[in-house]
Each structure stands twice: as C-alpha cells, then as structure tokens.
A and B are shown apart, each in its own frame.
Chain A
Amino acid sequence: MAQNQASVAPMGKGKRSKVVRYNKWGYIFLIPFVAVFLVFNLIPLISTFYNSFYENYMDGLTQIGPTFVGFENYKQLFSDANIWKFSANTAIMWVMGFIPQIIVSLLLAQWFSDSRLRLKGSTFFKTVIYMPNLIMASAFSLLFFALFSDSGPINDLLVNKLHILDEPFKFFSSVWGTRGLVAAMNFLMWFGNTTILLMAGIMGIDVSLYEAAEVDGASSWQRFVRITLPLLKPILIYVIITSLIGGIQMFDVPQILTNGTGNPTNSTMTLIMYLNKHLYSKNYGMSGALSVVLFFITGILSLVVYNIMYRKRDKEA
C-alpha cells in the first residue's frame, strides 16, 4: 500500500541530496493499521490455531487442561455428524436469503440508476430500503419473534381476519417456517445495502456505452446482460464475497429468533451458534478447532468465487 513518493528538491539548495524522500510517511501512516491488525487480528488468529491443539475447558470451577492432544479436537469435530448438519443449515439459510437479495438488488439498482425511467421519489425509496439495515439484528429478530409467535399478530391475521388457516401455523415449530424467517430477515436487512453498492457500480459505467448500444438497436435486456453485468463484475464479486463471509458468520438473527436453541431440531443452528455453545464450558480447544475450520472454509470459498468470476472475464477478453 505504501507508495514510494519522491519529489525533486528545489534547485540550488544544499549539496547533500537533491531528492527528498517522503516514503517514511507511508510507513508512519501504516503503523496504526499494523498495530491494530497485530493485536486484534493476527495474535488472536495464531492463538486460535494454538488453542485448537489443546484440551482445555471448565468443568464447573475445575479447569481441565490445557493438555496437548494433537488433532484430537479435529477428529472429534469431524467424527460427529453435527458439523455437517450445521454447515448445511448455514449454507441453506444463506442461499435462501441471498438469491432473492441479489435479484431484487440488481433489479432495483438498475431501475434507480436508469435516468430514462424517471422514477419519482427514488431518493425516498433508496432511504426506505436501507432502513432495515439500521435496526439492530437483535431488535429485528425480537420483532419477528413476536410477530410470528403462535398467538401473534400474523397468526391472528391468517386465522381470524383472513380465514386462510383454520388454526395458527406454528412458525417456530416448523423447520422451513423458521429457516424461511431467518432467510427473509437476512434478505430484508441486506438487500438495501446491496442495492446501494450495485447502484454505485452501475452509475460508474460510461453512459456513452449505453447510448452506442441503443443506436445499434439493443433491447434493454441486452444492455443489461451485455453491458451492465460484465462491467459490474468487480462490484458483484465484492458483494458476493462479503455476503458469503457474512453468511458463514451468520449468528445474531437465528440466535435471537430461536433463543439460542437452533430449534426446531437444530435445523437453524449455524456454525457460529455451535461455536457459541462450546463457550458455555469455556471449551477453548473445541471452539478453537471449529474456528480454524471456519477460517479455512471462508478462505477457500472466497478464493473459489474470486477465481470463477475472474477466469470468466479473462476468457471473454
């Protein structure tokens, strides 16, 4: 990041050097970042790896360990079916939320940035769709929990007002009901944010390209697929990778919505909620191992997404 900057000193001033170096400022400005990164990221990261090789937890007030156990924690982690189940839960709920999120966001971003449509009050709507992101996920979850409870307003509406159902639908006792709610909340919270990002990307595209395409008789769908999407790729990659990481770290919404239980039958238990469960007994060994696994999953998935997206562009080019 540091750029070596040099400038030529004014003529006729001293004989030592005609070049004044500014690159030390680059390093000085980097110090805060490096310090924060070391203390809050790198050291915890390394200690997580370190902890994952030890048996170390509390049994009541008795500390068990730390004893070096090699890969025992990893063995235990992968020997039981839970980790696969919880990974699948996380993936399912992320996909269920992300697909509508990216579609709606693309659509809205396109509409909002299309000057031809002359949408009225677009500033107002841009603000409104961003609003859910401003509410804390926890408050949002509590709201949904109240709305969709067995005798909550939604059931009241469905049964007593609209007469669609004969008896209340128990959202939180239904696997897909609860997963659907988690996905819907993630979608609602994040589509506004994604829209704004994509809009910024779309508005960065040279208008003359669209004009040229129009002169050549391209339809609006063709303009979208042939101009907008390819040029939007860097932003799209950014959006996909950040929400992927966010998805892998999904915690707050399902945690609060199900009161930490991952009900029904652990079908909404995400990997981070599982991690959180290990901390009940301060099980640093197992939670360390799980964190390391998460670290690799995140890294690998990000690389995969990055490579797929860029390889395609290289081919096209």
Chain B
Amino acid sequence: MRKFKKIAALTLVAAMAASAFVGCSSSSGSSAAGGANTDPTEPVTDASGEEISYRDQLKEKTYDGEGSVLNIYVWNDEFISRLSDHFPGYEKIDATNGKIGNVEVRFTKVENTDNKYQNNLDDTLLANGANQENASADDKIDIFLVEADYALKYVDTDYTMNLADLGITDADLPNQYQYTKDAVTDSNGNLKGISWQGCPGLLVYRRDMAKEVLGTDDPAEVQKAVSDWDTFADTAAKMAEAGYHMTSSVNDTYRVFSNNVTSKWVEDGTINIDDNIKAWVDMSKEMVDAGQTGTHALWSDDWSKGFYQDGNVFCYFGPAWLIDFSMACDQEGSVGYDGGWAVTEGPQGFFWGGTWICAAAGTDNQELVKDIMLCLTSDEETMTQIVEKDHDFVNNSVVMEAKATDSSFGDEYLGGQNPIALFCNGIETVSLENITSYDQGCNEEFQNTMKNYFDGNYATYEEALDAFYEAIKVKYPALNVPE
C-alpha cells in the first residue's frame, strides 16, 4: 500500500513539475509579414533560367544516399507540427511518423516533466556511444531538441554536431537574434544548435494602476518610471503607498537579472555568484521587507492572483506567450479580458522559453538535418508562414520587424497596443555569453534558498549562501564551493 503510494506520489511530483513548466516552450506573435528571399544556398535556376525557390528545391529532394530513418527526440508536439506543416515534401503518416523523400521520419516523444525527457535522451545517447557507433543505422538519433536551461549540458559535449560540419555557417543566419546563438554555443565558440523562435520578454503592467499612481498609462511614459532598477524601486515604493505590490513575487524579476550577468555560475569548477545576482538579492530583500512583493513560486496560485481584476499586482515580466496563454486573458474578470494590460521594455531585456534543434553526432542523415535546420530557422518564406499560421515569434529580425511596423496589428489584451517593436528592441540586448551547463540547478537552488532569506528564516545573506552551497554540493558533486 505504502509502496504503491510512493509511486503515485512520484507521478504527482512529476505532474507538479509539469505544471511548473507549462507554456515554457510556446511563443506567439501574429499575422502578416513580408520579406525578400535571402536564400541560404546559391540561387538555383531551372532550364528556362528562372530561379527555383529554396522550398521548391527541397520538395524535389529524395535523400537516397542517406540513412533510411530520421530519428527525432522531442518532448511535445510543437516541433512535430512545425516540421509537418512547414517543411516542403513532408508526408504525414500518423502522429509521430512521417516521410520526407525516401526517408522515414520517426519522432520519439518523451514528456519533459521530472527530467524524463533528459533522462531518456541521456540513456540513449550514452548507450549509442559518442559517435553512435553502437546503434544500428535505423536507431541512430539524428535530431534532438533542447531548452536553454540545459542546452549546454549537451552542446558542450561531443554528442552534438558542430553546425559548421553540417555546412551551416553564420553567413546563413544573418537575421537570427544573438541570444539564440549564445544559448547553444559551446565553450570553444562552435555553434551547435539552432532555433526557429525567439522569446523576448517585456514588463507587462496594469493600465489602471499606472494611471492612478503614475498619472499615465502611456507605455513611453511608464517606461520612464521603470527604465532602470533605481527608478523601478522608486515606483515600487509609490505602488506600495497606494496599496499595490510592484511584482507578484521576487521570482518575477529573477530572470531579468540572471539573463544579464557578466560572469558565469561556475568558474573553473567553483561556484561563483555574479554581481547582478547579488543585486537581485539586495533589491528583492528590500522589496519584501517593504511589503512590495511576495516570495511565492512562479505558477503558484498566489502568483497568478494578480492576473485578475481584484489582484493587487502592478507588473509581471514575461514574453508574448505569457500574456496570450498564461494570464487567463480569455476569462471574464481577468485584467486582460478588458484589455487592462500594457507592455513596456522595463529595466533590462530578457527572454523566457524557446526550443533549440541539435544535430546528434553520428547522424546518418546530415543533408536532411541541414535542410530541416535551414528551412525552419532561416528561410524567410517558411518563417513568415510560421508567423502567420502558428503566431510564433520567429527567430528572424527581418520578418519580425516587418510585423512591428504593421499598424493594423494590435493586441486586444493590451488594449490595442502593438508590442512587437518593443519585443524586438528588448531582445537585441540580451546576451547569453555567460551560461553554463549547471544553470538550471543553480538557478533553482539559489531562488529556493534566497526565498528563505527573504522570508526571514535565514538571518543573514551569508547563512542563506551556505545553505545554497550545501544544496549545490548534493546536486552537482563535481563542483567546488568557495571557501
């Protein structure tokens, strides 16, 4: 009975973790964009001398000389549908099988919850060997997907292929946002993954509270009140006077700080606390002590109270998908239902979410992998299609900027504001030069121990820091902690 319950408990732990990640990998923008075809390959012409588009070329390919099975590891349907909807020549067989030319496409879908996806992928990669020499041709992994939090765990190993070896160079990707490249660049500077989407985030604030406290709800004016962390703190004090919380939780601002660090979590095998992370602690402690924010976890009920009219939260930090899918804007009584939100850039740029495509070392479908990557992540015609059909914020500044100036587009949840231009601005400044493969665990544990400090359960920052080091030693036995 107890044993059974343990299993059930584990399942629920998994389910909880799942709910914590809901929405992490979807993004949205919307309709209409144009742009010339900056074809990654040399222009190809047909017999009559007319240029054949990249997509039409792909349609003709049969990939006969390559492995007969393309194995793709994914954790949800997003990439499956991007590939089946937008890759020319993809024939759908069923939910997880398809065909491109003469190559059979097989998706292996394992849930992301509770590290299940990573565990399964790790086991398979390790069993297949560094160059997949132990796997039969049909079982070799060709493509797998990763998220930013743990991308480097794979990118910084020999299990991922250098994109240059596939024949993809920076010249093929002129319009991609820099952070999407940083996230998957290994320690030797090699690009080892690629993404079709960008997830820039903005400061999302309530118009009614802005009007009441700041006297205006105009994004440009509100931006002046949150343009850096000092003015942000001043505004927080004003909000507190009026009885409002500046942010729902200290964790709302964490991502903004952690995306703008100037040193790494781990330097030479030793844990390192960046000044910006420390700045987050100092600011958050002050805000909590002054009653300007809470300490609950993201995605908790307490956190999402502020999505509704009777909430008392002035702002959240989030990308487009947060507004569209998470803030309950389609429900009556929510702030967004009546267009009560607006967005502005906030103190610093940041991103949240996104999916990257990696080529597994030892793949026997190199040409097809290359074509899939280039088609989905740099071909403007395809990317415009993705924007129009799936409302993704695609990883292409030309396509997105065309949409930013589209005056006909306004987001009803934001009272008709067109946020694309702001999203485009914010994302330019984000740099992920300082990520490590330990970021996921470090961020989680740091936020957790600091919550105890903010709550007053640890008397000093040093005490909390010690607890953080203890937790890291358990999570990453290979790391050292500062003396």
Contact = CB atoms under 8 A, between A and B. Distances in A.
B389 interface: no
Max chain A CB contacts within 10 Å: which of B5, B467, B477?
A: B477
B43 interface: no
Contacts of A152: 301
Given A61-B126, A286-B477, A138 B296 contact: no
A142 B16 contact: yes
Contacts of A59: 476-478
A150 to B, nearest CB: 5
| Residue among A60, A149, A170 with max Cβ neighbours from chain B (10 Å) | A60
A265 B126 CA distance: 36
Interface of B: 2, 5-6, 8-9, 11-13, 16, 115, 122, 125-126, 153-154, 156-157, 159, 294-297, 300-302, 305, 437, 441, 448, 451-452, 455-458, 467, 470-471, 474-478
A82 to B, nearest CB: 6
A146 B296 CA distance: 12
A277 B11 contact: no
Contacts of B125: 61
A64 to B, nearest CB: 6
Given A61-B126, A175-B457, 6 more contacts: A57-B477, A64-B478, A173-B456, A255-B9, A255-B13, A281-B476
Contacts of B470: 80, 82
A170 B455 contact: yes
B305 A256 contact: no
Contacts, number: 105
A107 interface: no
Contacts of A62: 157
Chain A contact residues: helix, strand, loop or mixed? mixed
Contacts of B12: 136, 138-139, 141-142, 256
Nearest to A151: B302
A141 B12 CA distance: 10
A23 interface: no
A80 B122 CA distance: 31
A180 interface: no
A182 to B, nearest CB: 13
A163 B474 CA distance: 44
A66 interface: no
Nearest to B436: A60
A138 B475 contact: no
B294 A265 contact: no
A255 B6 CA distance: 11
Given A60-B157, A173-B295, A264 B452 contact: yes
A264 B455 CA distance: 9
B474 A149 contact: no
B466 to A, nearest CB: 11
27 contacts: A60-B157, A61-B153, A61-B157, A61-B159, A62-B157, A136-B8, A136-B9, A136-B12, A138-B5, A138-B11, A138-B12, A138-B13, A139-B12, A142-B16, A149-B301, A149-B302, A151-B302, A170-B455, A173-B295, A173-B456, A249-B2, A252-B6, A256-B12, A256-B13, A280-B115, A281-B474, A281-B478
B394 to A, nearest CB: 30
Contacts of B115: 280
B211 to A, nearest CB: 25
Centre residue among A137, A138, A259, A263 by max chain B CB count within 10 A: A138
Contacts of B153: 60-61
Interface string A140-155: 0110001001111000
Contacts of B2: 246, 249
A291 interface: no
A151 B475 contact: no
B437 A136 contact: no
Contact of A256 (B16, B154, B448, B477): B16
A251 interface: yes
A260 interface: yes
Contacts of A141: 12
A228 B467 CA distance: 49
Contacts of B477: 57, 59, 64, 281, 283, 286
A142 B18 CA distance: 14
B480 to A, nearest CB: 12
A265 B476 contact: no
Contacts of A265: 452, 457-458, 467
